[in-house]
Amino acid sequence: MTFPEHGPRTPGSLPRARLLPWTAPGDKPCYLVTDQDGGFLSRYADEVEELQLGMSEGLLEHARVLIDDPAADARQLRFLSVQLSAALRDAVRVAESRGARAADAGAGAGGCVS
pLDDT digits (tens, 9 = 90+) for 67-94: 999 999 999 999 999 999 999 999 999 9
Mark 77-103 as b/e (b = at least 16 C-beta within 10 Å). eeebeeeeeebeebbebbeebeeeeee
Count Cβ atoms below 10 Å from residue 55 Cβ, excluding itself: 14
pTM score: 0.71
Q: How far apart, in Å, are the Cα atoms of 91 and each of 29, 67, 96?
A: 14, 21, 9
Count Cβ atoms below 10 Å from residue 1 Cβ, excluding itself: 7
